[in-house]
Chain A
């Protein structure tokens, strides 16, 4: 069904990045984020920006769409930049007025910090754009499994996430239907003050809760009827298997980390 896939921000496709194993993409994203914090100097940043655009190109995602995912956090990025700029540290003072000190170092640090944030956001957006939520949960479960001995309920967490994700579109549909039905009876959701608006939502929320409980109950019965007892001894329909592309990506990741580390610390190297 249409509503089953219009979830999160997944952008369907069949590019190299889409095909990668979710575990590869999660590890890549995490380590890339760490790598971003290794970056030092103009060249490193330009290199990382170029790399991110390269990945966007490989994933066939519209660049504008990926960049739009920065919008919700634009405020934080601007704030980071602003704070670093006006509370400048360092000696090269460009401007001083009361508590505002603008220094060259401050501006540089501000740009660096905002660039780090942007890179971090863009790379994680690429992960969620190219990986459907269900596949992503599968990947998380597989990655968390080794921690089971430490008491991490990997399977249960993944099952909860899968169920939650599965029901988001269903509940959205349901909400949409109820809103329409109550609108058809003349309900008005947009006028009045905040309290009035909250009160106006009751005719939507009550049926929604009732149906959510009913669905939860039905789902529990259906799962029990199929002998669900948690993750112990459970096999999977889609086993995650690393392919050649995944090994390639890991190799590229290792090279990237060493390259960034070298760029940062080459001055201290004895040769």
Chain B
């Protein structure tokens, strides 16, 4: 059970003056149960790659398989394979259209042809996942909600499809810290509970190291790094910087400490886990700090 890309190449507007090669032969396999962060600077081919993963784009060369089913072409098998890959685009709230939150979330399940009672169940479940109270919000207009709430409605609209693979393109862009943490907390819960694969496209190294258990760096239409985020940030700094990516702040501190001879375990994910490791290594007394409740390492 995986999404598998074999030597995928993609060219936009081939044979015109605007021809542009976006992917130059990418091979990648993502298993169910993985939480993958996909990073790369603007124009590196990320967006093309994720659109190929759910069949919105068909590779110019190479194949894209979901659960061994080729995504190219038409037919029921292709359609059902594509529907296994949920896709949350950038600024998904811009795609809301229905009169009520319920109707918008129900759009996907209804397109799949479920009965109305199944649809209602899925909508309730999806709303619960994004932490929107059904009775309060289901019959409101999505356009009256706040930005963060609108985004959660849009994410619920994809989650309601009950996909095995979930791709999110910068789900935290333009959100305030509370909404952002909220969305990620919900996402992690969904990920753990359903054992699906999450592919997170992000520009934030902090998010990548904090949530993902695999990191894929793409540059110039090719995969340049693929591995555990901790390994990449510790041991592949040069390649990372060469593809115009940065490292998380925590790893800058960690590298500084290492160069001064303080070896800390390699499972540091954020400020809180660094502090905990420091306390342990240096024998400092843990002190109850205020306002740090949410700062725990979530993933793994």
Contact = CB atoms under 8 A, between A and B. Distances in A.
A6 B13 contact: yes
A207 B89 CA distance: 14
B94 interface: yes
Given A2-B20, A180-B89, A186 B112 contact: yes
Interface residues of B, number: 28
A207 B82 CA distance: 23
B265 interface: no
B70 to A, nearest CB: 18
Nearest to A206: B97
B83 interface: yes
Interface string B83-106: 101110100101111100000000
Given A185-B108, A187-B111, A188-B111, A5 B95 contact: no
B89 A12 contact: no
**Binding site of A, secondary structure by majority: helix, strand, loop or mixed?**
helix
A184 B54 contact: yes
Interface in B153-173: 157-158, 161
**Binding site of B, secondary structure by majority: helix, strand, loop or mixed?**
mixed
A202 interface: yes
Contacts of A184: 54, 56, 82, 85-87, 89, 158
Contact of B17 (A12, A185, A202): A12
B161 A186 contact: yes
A186 B51 CA distance: 15
Nearest to A1: B43
A2 B20 CA distance: 9
Contacts of A186: 83, 108, 111-112, 161
Interface string B11-34: 011000110100000000000000
Contacts of A11: 17
B89 A181 contact: yes
Contacts of A187: 107, 111
B17 A177 contact: no
Nearest to A65: B16
Contacts of B89: 177, 180-181, 184
Contact of B111 (A5, A178, A185, A202): A185
A183 interface: yes
A15 interface: no
A76 to B, nearest CB: 27
Interface centre among A5, A184, A188, A210 (most CB of B within 10 A): A184
Contacts of B13: 6
B110 to A, nearest CB: 8
Interface in A205-258: 206-207, 210-211
Interface string B68-91: 000000000000001101110100
26 contacts: A2-B18, A5-B18, A6-B18, A177-B94, A177-B95, A178-B95, A180-B51, A180-B56, A180-B89, A181-B87, A181-B95, A182-B107, A183-B56, A184-B56, A184-B158, A185-B158, A186-B108, A186-B111, A186-B161, A187-B107, A188-B111, A202-B97, A203-B97, A206-B97, A207-B95, A211-B94
Given A184-B82, A210-B94, 10 more contacts: A2-B12, A2-B20, A177-B89, A180-B51, A181-B87, A184-B158, A203-B97, A207-B94, A207-B97, A211-B94
